[in-house]
Homo-oligomer: A and B are copies of this chain.
Amino acid sequence: MTDPLVIFTPSGKRGRFPVGTPVLTAARQLGVDLDSVCGGRGICSKCQVAPAFGEFPKHGVTVSENALSAWNEVEARYDRVRGLAEGRRLGCQAKVMGDVVIDVPPESQVHRQVIRKRAEMRPITLDPATRLFYVEVAEPDMHEPSGDFERLSRALEEQWQIKGIEADLDILRKLQPTLRKGDWKVTVAINTGHADGRQRVIDVWPGYFEDRLLGLAVDVGSTTVAAHLCDLFDGTVLASSGVMNPQIRFGEDLMSRVSYAMMNPGGDAEMTRAVRAAIDTLAREVAAEAGADPGLIVETVFVCNPVMHHLLLGIDPVELGQAPFALAVSESLSLAARELDLGSIHPRARTYILPCIAGHVGADAAAVALSEEPQNGEALSLVVDVGTNAEILLGNRTRVLACSSPTGPAFEGAQISAGQRAAPGAIERVEIDPVTKEPRFRVIGCDLWSDDPAFAAATAATGVTGICGSGIIEAVAEMRMAGILDPSGLIGSAEQTGTPRCLPEGRTHAYLIHDGTGAGGPRIAVTQGDIRAIQLAKSALYAGARLLMDEMGVDRVDRVVLAGAFGAHISPRHAMVLGMIPDCALDHVSSAGNAAGTGARIALLNSAARREIEAVVRRIHKVETAIEPRFQEHFVAANAIPHATDPFPELSRIVQLPAVSFNAAGSGGGEGGRRRRRG
Taking Cβ atoms with an 8 Å cutoff, the residues of A that contact B are 139-150, 164, 168-169, 172-173, 175-177, 196, 198, 313-316, 318-319, 323-331, 335, 339, 356-359, 361, 622, 624, 626-627
Contacts and interface: CB of A to CB of B under 8 A. Distances in A.
Nearest to A318: B176
B198 A326 contact: no
A327 B626 contact: no
Contacts of A627: 142
Contact of A315 (B139, B173, B196): B173
Contacts of A147: 326-331, 356
A173 B318 CA distance: 11
Contacts of A622: 143-145
A403 to B, nearest CB: 11
23 contacts: A140-B324, A142-B324, A142-B325, A142-B624, A142-B626, A143-B622, A144-B622, A145-B327, A145-B330, A145-B357, A145-B358, A145-B359, A145-B361, A146-B330, A147-B328, A148-B319, A148-B327, A169-B339, A172-B315, A172-B329, A173-B313, A173-B328, A176-B316
Given A147-B330, A150-B330, A329-B147, A324 B176 contact: no
Give the interface SS of chain A, mostly helix, strand, loop or mixed: loop
Nearest to A151: B326
Given A142-B624, A176-B316, A169 B326 contact: no
B172 A328 contact: yes
B326 A148 contact: yes
Nearest to A166: B196
Contacts of A140: 324-326, 359
Most buried by B among A146, A324, A335: A146
A147 to B, nearest CB: 3
A173 B196 CA distance: 22
Most buried by B among A147, A148, A627: A147
Contacts of A150: 329-331
A316 to B, nearest CB: 7
Contacts of A139: 324
5 nearest interchain CB pairs? Answer: A145-B358, A147-B330, A140-B326, A149-B329, A147-B327
Contact of A314 (B169, B323, B331): B169
Nearest to A330: B147
B356 A169 contact: no
Nearest to A320: B176
Contacts of A172: 313, 315, 328-329
Contacts of A198: 196
A561 to B, nearest CB: 23
A328 B175 contact: yes
A593 B80 CA distance: 68
Contact of A324 (B141, B314, B358): B141
Contact of A624 (B143, B177, B329): B143
Nearest to A179: B326
Contacts of A148: 319, 326-329
Nearest to A146: B330
A108 B361 CA distance: 47
B325 A145 contact: yes
A265 B331 CA distance: 46
Nearest to A167: B329
Nearest to A334: B166
A198 B198 CA distance: 11
Nearest to A361: B145
Given A142-B624, A149-B329, 14 more contacts: A140-B325, A142-B324, A142-B358, A145-B357, A146-B327, A148-B328, A149-B331, A150-B330, A169-B314, A169-B335, A169-B339, A173-B314, A173-B328, A177-B316
A127 to B, nearest CB: 24
A139 B359 CA distance: 14
A328 B149 contact: yes
Contacts of A324: 139-142
A173 B327 contact: no
A402 to B, nearest CB: 10
A328 B361 CA distance: 47
B325 A176 contact: no
Contacts of A335: 168-169
Nearest to A626: B142
A479 to B, nearest CB: 38
A678 B360 CA distance: 66
Nearest to A170: B314
Nearest to A195: B164
